[in-house]
Chains A and B, each alone.
Chain A
Amino acid sequence: GIQVEQSPPDLILQEGANSTLRCNFSDSVNNLQWFHQNPWGQLINLFYIPSGTKQNGRLSATTVATERYSLLYISSSQTTDSGVYFCAVSNYGGSQGNLIFGKGTKLSVKP
């Protein structure tokens, strides 16, 4: 099945810093989502981005489907950005309803 690798596994930032999170996947995908999991476990949708670039406030994401990776950019980080960021994909070859999750990047933003 498709493999999803996220890097880095852990990231510590000072408030106001910028960061880039990476997601590599091993096969072509028809769905790619970025999530932020808050300390209470809620998965919050950030982007639905199987290809192209999107921006939402301080966050933006780019997926280069032909090279099988996606990047999540966080600018001017805030303490409320802390939590775990997940990349998840599904592809035509497998069960399309099955989102395959990476292990996540744990972000800690210090004041």
Chain B
Amino acid sequence: ETGVTQTPRHLVMGMTNKKSLKCEQHLGHNAMYWYKQSAKKPLELMFVYNFKEQTENNSVPSRFSPECPNSSHLFLHLHTLQPEDSALYLCASSQTSASGGSSSYNEQFFGPGTRLTVL
């Protein structure tokens, strides 16, 4: 138990469906992340939220829409996905510290992931 939970753990959806992934962290952190792990690629960052503000969008297609209502919750809204979007989606959180106008990101802790299959 890392203090980061994700639901659902498994999801099967059609290409025309709309679904959402949920992540919650109980660590008091102020930064949250979405990562994607495909079968043939290394783990790669999708989005970063720091103090509820999106600070990174790693060229992710618009069919993935993140939402961060507060520092403890992060959602990933999915619509009109493609079969190649099937992957393990991992959420992470960390504590950031501000210094000289920039933020320093510390150790990240990951949730158990949502295994998504798009038919």
CA distance A46 to B2 in the complex (A): 12
Q: B56, A95: Cβ atoms under 8 Å?
A: yes
* Contact A96 B103, CB 8 Å, known A41-B115, A43-B90, A103-B42: yes
CA distance A40 to B106 in the complex (A): 25
Q: A-B pairs with CB below 8 Å: how many? A: 64
- One of B44, B56, B107 near A97 (C-beta < 8 A): B56
Q: Would you call B66 an interface residue if the criterion is a C-beta within 8 Å of the partner chain's C-beta atoms? A: no
Residue of B nearest to A94 (CB): B56
Residues of A in contact with B, size category: 20 to 34
CA distance A43 to B55 in the complex (A): 23
Residues of B in contact with A, size category: 20 to 34
Residue of B nearest to A32 (CB): B107
Q: A42, B107: Cβ atoms under 8 Å?
A: no
CA distance A42 to B115 in the complex (A): 11
Please, which residues of chain B bring their CB within 8 A of the CB of A30? 104
Residue of B nearest to A102 (CB): B42
Q: List 24 A-B contacts (CB under 8 A).
A: A30-B104, A31-B105, A41-B90, A41-B112, A41-B115, A42-B2, A42-B112, A43-B113, A45-B2, A45-B107, A48-B106, A48-B107, A90-B105, A96-B105, A97-B31, A97-B33, A97-B56, A97-B96, A98-B48, A98-B56, A99-B45, A99-B92, A101-B43, A103-B42
Chain A residues within 8 Å of B, Cβ to Cβ: 30-31, 33, 35, 40-45, 48, 86, 88, 90, 95-99, 101-104
Having A45-B109, A97-B55, A101-B44, one finds 13 other A-B pairs with CB under 8 Å, namely: A41-B37, A41-B90, A41-B112, A42-B2, A42-B112, A42-B113, A43-B113, A48-B106, A90-B105, A97-B33, A98-B45, A99-B108, A103-B42
